[in-house]
Amino acid sequence: MRIVTFSRSITIVPTYTCHLRCRYCSFWSATDGLIPRSQARALMRQAYRAGCREALIMSGDAPWLEPGFAVNDQGYVDFVFELCEMALHEGLLPHTNIGVVAPRHLEQLHQVNPSMGLMLESVNDDLPAHRGARGKRVAARLGFLRAAGELRIPFTTGILVGIDESAADRRATLGTIRGLHEQYGHIQEIIVQNFRARPGTPMAGHPEPPPELMVETVELARAILPAMSIQIPPNLNANYVDLVRAGANDLGGVSPDVDHINPDHRFPPPPDIERALAAIGCGLRERLPVYPEVRADWSPAARRLRAIAAPADVRLEAPGAAADAPTSERRSGLGSASSLRLPAPDDLVCTLDASREAALRAAAGRRYRPRFSLRAGEGWAERVATLDRLRTLHLSSGAFDGLVIRAEPAVPPEERLRALAYARLYLGKEWPDVGLSWADGPALALDGLSVGGSAVWDVPPVSWGWLAAELAARGLAPRRPAAVGVGGRA
């Protein structure tokens, strides 16, 4: 079955102030200030509770060049950096797209962003849509994309269709993106976005691109970039199913909130998307804002294992008294889980024999959560082998609903954390709901680690120490065993 992905995300706009003046845009302001931190945090918490895993930190270009703006370029990047850290703390992976910034600022933001983005839009520098857009120059955007490539930042870019560009322009734009990717290998997805006329803008009366042109452009993108993830926004394309047929395989960020660029085009709810895609034989799956293929290229398994085998700075407090445990309920949005109990009575232990594999295969796709037990004294290599095998089963048999890692009381906290971190990092996007419970009763709720996992791996300064601190910050609160267990959802 073909799988179409999306990222459940919330958009945080640091400011609406933008120095450019694209003629199709109703997003920009000349006088907006910075979003209050309390508001940003409240939005993130709300999004996390709604199941989001991504915070798209998005603004226009160079707001500091507008008279009266609160901060200069460094101050603005520092503020965005702070928002990204806040997102990580609140359990969301940031993906920043704030226009062109200096390479040193890009490098700074890379520390807290598993991926970033900037629309190339078009390589035609003389489109009417950009006349008057001070500084929206192709050279500047290409320079930025190259800087991102040199820094090895997993990157999202794309083409804007229907702004008077020619067919040759579209081909050249996609070809340019391909060339960048061939040079740096950092483009993880391409957005094929259609112009939508916004009231109150100079292009309010401009015709929108016909649906056939979008189909044609997706086909072109697929032909030019056969292995690339091609993303289309489902809220801007009533015919998004046709675009999937034409080769698109990703729907980008789907938010419970509005699309801040096109606020009158609501996102269809994921269950509706799932039904529409099922009609053409496609499945829908959530992803994180960084693709494991990109990470795999840049983060060889050996490096992962070495890092995981030597988490020297990990310190984990033992679980304490009952407290307000953070909920580990992360709404999948793709239908509620139905309980299922496997006939096999025992937990998975360090090895996974044929009968257990058969039982797990039988349960796959039925929203079942296998259990994996850590026992004192067993080897780390065996644990990793079993976790890897579980991942393979998960991928080949059609999605378990998560994984519960249990630990005997004698298993030291560091080992529990290491196992969880490995599962979180390596199983990554395919298995976002990994839970960890203590075998002696109370369970550890681990909200937010789905973000910590990816971030720890791809962003060096976010260290194992950070991961441990995240756990500590979340209180390591024990939960009753009934909350996490075989056949149930946390």
Binding site for ligand SF4 (CB under 6 A): 18, 20-22, 25, 27-28, 60-61, 99, 133
> Coil, strand, or helix at residue 440?
coil
What does residue 276 show for φ and ψ, rounded to 5 degrees?
Answer: -60, -40
Dist CA 182 CA 185 (whole Å): 6
Least CB distance to ligand SF4 at residue 119 (A): 8
Beta carbon nearer to ligand SF4, 15 or 115: 15
Dist CA 178 CA 183 (whole Å): 9
Least CB distance to ligand SF4 at residue 167 (A): 23
Beta carbon nearer to ligand SF4, 14 or 453: 14
Dist CA 399 CA 319 (whole Å): 30
Beta carbon nearer to ligand SF4, 22 or 307: 22
Distances (CA, A) of 405 to 102, 104, 420: 43, 41, 7
Distances (CA, A) of 298 to 9, 104, 290: 25, 21, 12
Least CB distance to ligand SF4 at residue 62 (A): 9
Distances (CA, A) of 91 to 32, 58, 343, 448: 27, 18, 35, 4
Least CB distance to ligand SF4 at residue 141 (A): 10
Dist CA 103 CA 21 (whole Å): 23
Least CB distance to ligand SF4 at residue 256 (A): 22
Euclidean distance between the first and final Cα of the chain, in Å? 28
Least CB distance to ligand SF4 at residue 163 (A): 11
Beta carbon nearer to ligand SF4, 21 or 418: 21
Residue 271: which H helix or E strand, with range? helix 270-278
Beta carbon nearer to ligand SF4, 27 or 291: 27
Beta carbon nearer to ligand SF4, 21 or 105: 21
Least CB distance to ligand SF4 at residue 287 (A): 25
Number of residue whose CB is nearest ligand SF4:
60
Beta carbon nearer to ligand SF4, 196 or 424: 196
Contact between 252 and 232 (Cβ < 8 Å): yes
Beta carbon nearer to ligand SF4, 201 or 454: 201
Dist CA 305 CA 288 (whole Å): 21
Degrees to nearest 5, angle at CA 281 with 279 and 284: 90
Dihedral, CA atoms, 463, 399, 343, 424, nearest 10 degrees? 0
Dist CA 43 CA 468 (whole Å): 25
Torsion sign over Cα 134, 136, 140, 145? positive
Least CB distance to ligand SF4 at residue 230 (A): 21
Beta carbon nearer to ligand SF4, 132 or 335: 132
462-468 long-range Cβ contacts below 8 angstroms, 24+ apart: 462/88, 462/111, 462/112, 463/313, 464/307, 464/311, 464/312, 464/313, 464/314, 464/421, 465/313, 465/314, 465/315, 467/314, 467/417, 467/421, 468/313, 468/314, 468/315, 468/316, 468/417
Least CB distance to ligand SF4 at residue 261 (A): 7
Beta carbon nearer to ligand SF4, 195 or 464: 195
Dist CA 199 CA 343 (whole Å): 60
Beta carbon nearer to ligand SF4, 4 or 20: 20
Least CB distance to ligand SF4 at residue 88 (A): 25
Extract the tokens encoding 463: 């260290």
Contact between 321 and 476 (Cβ < 8 Å): no
Least CB distance to ligand SF4 at residue 144 (A): 12
Contact between 63 and 18 (Cβ < 8 Å): yes
Least CB distance to ligand SF4 at residue 21 (A): 6
Dist CA 487 CA 490 (whole Å): 10
Beta carbon nearer to ligand SF4, 25 or 469: 25
- Name the residue with tokens 């675009």: 243
